[in-house]
Chains A and B, each alone.
Chain A
């Protein structure tokens, strides 16, 4: 009996929730840490030869990525995957395309150590940062143990926590302003739901909270095995993080390999490979119109300018 009551309760709780929720307007962050994180985010000393910073590949003024198919690291070497946007990354439950990190802290140390990205390590970075009296003072002001690997990634993550884009057109719609969307945009959202895009792209980030197989209906042409590379589990083959669709119009090229340049191609590919359906052109256009309503305000830039 208890189980039934509990089940009903949970089911109602799950159902009653809107599948997509707006980005909250107020997020508590530690300003001091975030400012230190911002400095580190833009600091090239985090790379081996002092040429690349986090900001090199995550350009905040753009879509929070580098608009390249794959990123270019130290010594001009090319990476293997497309750089995902850093914007709203705090809402993702998986980081990296293969989902090998769950938290922003875990994620931050990835590129630092990747030999083709920043090619460095914490020992080097710490010894570099310790020569900077400003860093020494700021770290010591925030952290008891001063400059440590843990504190570096903590402050970077805290900065990334501030990188949210609220108040998109669609968020206003979700908050009850139904007139803000045009007829076509609303149709696009309807199609988005009808074709089941929403079954994977949901939650506050409209994605980012699920690992899914790429190529459910038809095999996707890629040499990257995704999560399988991390787990070696055959069931994980071609499993990738479902990316967020927020600010999607500014984060091209698309997918893990960055070979898809336009949103149109991306939507069509998705409907073909994942749903097994070839969209009509007007359907694609409407969905794209909807997707463009997901572009939010870069409040972090405003604050920085003020």
Chain B
């Protein structure tokens, strides 16, 4: 804005200077014209004077020449006192005028004398002719001729002639001759005087000097006018350029203003909170989103520190770090937990950038904050839900386990019951039994309880998962799992075909048990309803170049291709409500990918076993091979 005013001022000044110059040039031009007119007028009159002085003799009305003299004097006065001559910085012009003035006065004096001499000469010529007509001595004829032709004979020696006239005057005493001789003497005397002033006139050379001055002044004024024109042209160009610059600048300014307007609109309407503070962290500007989210209007927060929004949930170190980063001139990014006007917590992902002036001094801070409250809350919700899911899956697994335990315990329990009941009957009926027989029965009972105890251990391990990674053999884990679920497979006549390599990994063993158990149970569930005569599960543990793979494959017909992509989604199940929760495979994938750094894949396989072709689902647990 300041530049704009400056530009305008420069423009106006240029304009005024130009006007001044043009006016000056105009005045100068008219002064030059006036002075030239004066000089030319003086020159014209001077020519008349020269003609007058050289003119042949006759009566004159002196008023006419006097009028010219008066005019000439006026012109010279005007020339001499013209402001552009008086104030002229050129000393040559001043000295020219000064010299001309002296010459002019001398010239006027000469004219004055010429007037007087010519009047006398004219008179004497007329009278001499008149007397000659009346008749004079013949001897004076020669003198008369000499006098009459004085103009054409410049060689005539005036002094000699005057001496002659003087001597003649003594000879003649008659009235006419005396009169004639007197006038002849006057003619010779005054012709001589007139010649002298004509000579003086030549030496005066007023005309030549006037001419010189005229030429000098002309070239001088031409030069000045040219200079003036040149400076006017230059000024015009400058004016044009400055107008051009002004227009360009104005155009650019309007463009940038438009851009700024657009930018401002963007800022104002942004969903991001934008806060601008001065270098003392006093709020200068907040946008609409700020008011919308915090509940504070721009007027309420202007001049205040943004710390007022703090919920107090963040440590002093947090703010210390923030200030240190910003005052070091660096960008700061992080999350604020702030409190809105009505006391609601809000989570804000913020980026604060210091803004510098030309001297690299911080002048303001710009904070752009994204309100992430909803996202943060959703994230928390999700976490809760996941926890719940985990709980549910555990519960499901526990149910499964209890069923397994029930299956496993049924046989040893009935064994204990049978053995103890048999022994009890025998004792009640006092049927004598041998010691060996008793020991055998008691051993059987003992073995059965031992077996029960072992099962309990496995159960307990399952519910108290070890969160630390340990080194274990994959086949051991598989065996442990099978141990838990085996009974139910046997009951269904499911044949498990194993192909186990001896591979150890470091990972969470109990988690893996849960996954394998899930996979085996899924296979069992599908085989339970399968109409195949043979119910087969293939378990394979093997190593590839970069992977370690645990594969569980059945011959249950495979998974429908339309749902195969959804099997890992939570709450997705193909089983009856009473049977499945839909979280088994979801949890399996969560465990493998998130806790155990592996992947879980599913595909349908068609294969031949003992010359019979089967189709079934294959699950692969894949760990990277380090």
A joins B in a complex: yes
Chain A interface residues toward B at CB < 8 A: 6-7, 10-11, 13-15, 17-21, 91, 93, 102, 194-196, 198-200, 202-204, 209-213, 216-217, 235, 239, 275-277
Q: Mark B64-89, 1 if CB is under 8 A from A, else 0.
A: 10100110010000000000000000
Of A10, A102, A210, A213, the residue contacting B48 (CB under 8 A) is A10
In the complex formed, the residue of A with least CB distance to B58 is A15
Contact B51 A7 (CB under 8 A): yes
Known contacts A6-B51, A10-B48, A276-B182; is A212 also within 8 Å of B119 by CB? yes
Q: List 18 A-B contacts (CB under 8 A).
A: A7-B51, A10-B52, A14-B60, A14-B61, A14-B64, A21-B63, A93-B62, A198-B59, A199-B122, A200-B119, A209-B62, A210-B115, A211-B116, A213-B116, A217-B182, A235-B193, A276-B183, A276-B186
Q: Which residues on B sit within 8 Å (CB–CB) of A19? A: 59-61
Interface of B: prevailing SS: helix
| Bound-complex Cα distance A211 to B122 (A) | 16
Q: Which residues on B sit within 8 Å (CB–CB) of A10? A: 48, 51-52
Of B61, B116, B183, the residue contacting A202 (CB under 8 A) is B61
The smallest beta-carbon distance between B259 and chain A, in angstroms, is 65
Contact B116 A212 (CB under 8 A): yes
Q: Which residues on B sit within 8 Å (CB–CB) of A102? A: 73
Known contacts A196-B122, A212-B116, A276-B183; is A202 also within 8 Å of B66 by CB? no
Which parts of B67-115 form the interface with A (CB within 8 Å)? 69-70, 73, 112-113, 115
Of B48, B64, B130, the residue contacting A17 (CB under 8 A) is B64
Q: Which residues on B sit within 8 Å (CB–CB) of A199? A: 59-60, 119-120, 122-123
Q: Which residues on A sit within 8 Å (CB–CB) of B332? A: none
Q: Is B179 an interface residue (CB 8 A)?
A: yes
The smallest beta-carbon distance between A17 and chain B, in angstroms, is 5
Which parts of B406-431 form the interface with A (CB within 8 Å)? none
Known contacts A6-B51, A21-B61, A239-B116; is A93 also within 8 Å of B70 by CB? yes
Of B62, B69, B186, the residue contacting A216 (CB under 8 A) is B186
Chain B contact-residue range equals 20 to 34
Q: Which residues on A sit within 8 Å (CB–CB) of B127? A: 195-196, 275, 277
Most buried by B among A204, A210, A211, A213: A210
Which 4 pairs, one residue from A and one from B, show the smallest C-beta to C-beta distance?
Answer: A196-B123, A203-B63, A209-B62, A93-B66
The smallest beta-carbon distance between B208 and chain A, in angstroms, is 16
The smallest beta-carbon distance between B391 and chain A, in angstroms, is 117
Q: Which residues on A sit within 8 Å (CB–CB) of B47? A: 6
| Bound-complex Cα distance A239 to B61 (A) | 19
The smallest beta-carbon distance between B300 and chain A, in angstroms, is 73
Contact B66 A209 (CB under 8 A): yes
Q: Is B362 an interface residue (CB 8 A)?
A: no
The smallest beta-carbon distance between B102 and chain A, in angstroms, is 15
Contact B179 A276 (CB under 8 A): yes
Known contacts A14-B64, A275-B127; is A217 also within 8 Å of B58 by CB? no
Contact A202 B113 (CB under 8 A): no
Q: Is B55 an interface residue (CB 8 A)?
A: yes
Chain B interface residues toward A at CB < 8 A: 47-48, 51-52, 55, 58-64, 66, 69-70, 73, 112-113, 115-116, 119-120, 122-123, 126-127, 130, 179, 182-183, 186, 193
Contact B119 A210 (CB under 8 A): yes
Contact B69 A93 (CB under 8 A): yes
Q: Which residues on A sit within 8 Å (CB–CB) of B55? A: 11, 14
| Bound-complex Cα distance A122 to B64 (A) | 35
The smallest beta-carbon distance between B261 and chain A, in angstroms, is 63
Most buried by B among A6, A196, A239: A196
Of A15, A198, A203, A277, the residue contacting B66 (CB under 8 A) is A203
Besides the contacts A216-B120, A235-B193, what 12 more A-B pairs have beta carbons closer than 8 Å? A6-B47, A11-B55, A14-B64, A17-B61, A91-B63, A93-B63, A199-B59, A199-B120, A200-B119, A202-B61, A216-B186, A277-B179
| Bound-complex Cα distance A90 to B47 (A) | 27
| Bound-complex Cα distance A203 to B61 (A) | 5
| Bound-complex Cα distance A87 to B120 (A) | 27
| Bound-complex Cα distance A203 to B119 (A) | 13
Contact A204 B122 (CB under 8 A): no
Q: Which residues on A sit within 8 Å (CB–CB) of B120? A: 199, 212-213, 216
Q: Which residues on A sit within 8 Å (CB–CB) of B61? A: 14, 17-21, 202-203
| Bound-complex Cα distance A182 to B112 (A) | 36
Known contacts A196-B123, A212-B116; is A202 also within 8 Å of B60 by CB? yes
Most buried by B among A13, A93, A102, A239: A93
Q: Which residues on A sit within 8 Å (CB–CB) of B69? A: 93
The smallest beta-carbon distance between A18 and chain B, in angstroms, is 7
Q: Which residues on B sit within 8 Å (CB–CB) of A198? A: 59
In the complex formed, the residue of B with least CB distance to A233 is B109
Q: Which residues on B sit within 8 Å (CB–CB) of A235? A: 113, 193
Most buried by A among B60, B179, B183: B60
Q: Which residues on B sit within 8 Å (CB–CB) of A91? A: 63
In the complex formed, the residue of B with least CB distance to A11 is B55
The smallest beta-carbon distance between B575 and chain A, in angstroms, is 126
Q: Which residues on B sit within 8 Å (CB–CB) of A13? A: 64
The smallest beta-carbon distance between B570 and chain A, in angstroms, is 113
| Bound-complex Cα distance A20 to B60 (A) | 10
The smallest beta-carbon distance between A171 and chain B, in angstroms, is 15
| Bound-complex Cα distance A93 to B115 (A) | 13
Q: Which residues on B sit within 8 Å (CB–CB) of A21? A: 61, 63
Q: Which residues on B sit within 8 Å (CB–CB) of A239? A: 116
Q: Which residues on A sit within 8 Å (CB–CB) of B113? A: 235
Q: Which residues on B sit within 8 Å (CB–CB) of A93? A: 62-63, 66, 69-70
Known contacts A275-B123, A275-B127; is A217 also within 8 Å of B186 by CB? yes
The smallest beta-carbon distance between B116 and chain A, in angstroms, is 5
| Bound-complex Cα distance A18 to B70 (A) | 20
Q: Which residues on B sit within 8 Å (CB–CB) of A196? A: 122-123, 126-127
In the complex formed, the residue of A with least CB distance to B116 is A212
| Bound-complex Cα distance A187 to B421 (A) | 207
Known contacts A17-B64, A275-B127, A276-B179; is A210 also within 8 Å of B59 by CB? no
| Bound-complex Cα distance A216 to B47 (A) | 30
Most buried by B among A7, A10, A17, A217: A217
Q: Which residues on A sit within 8 Å (CB–CB) of B48? A: 10
The smallest beta-carbon distance between A27 and chain B, in angstroms, is 15
Q: Which residues on A sit within 8 Å (CB–CB) of B62? A: 93, 202-203, 209-210
Q: Which residues on B sit within 8 Å (CB–CB) of A200? A: 119
Most buried by A among B58, B59, B193: B59
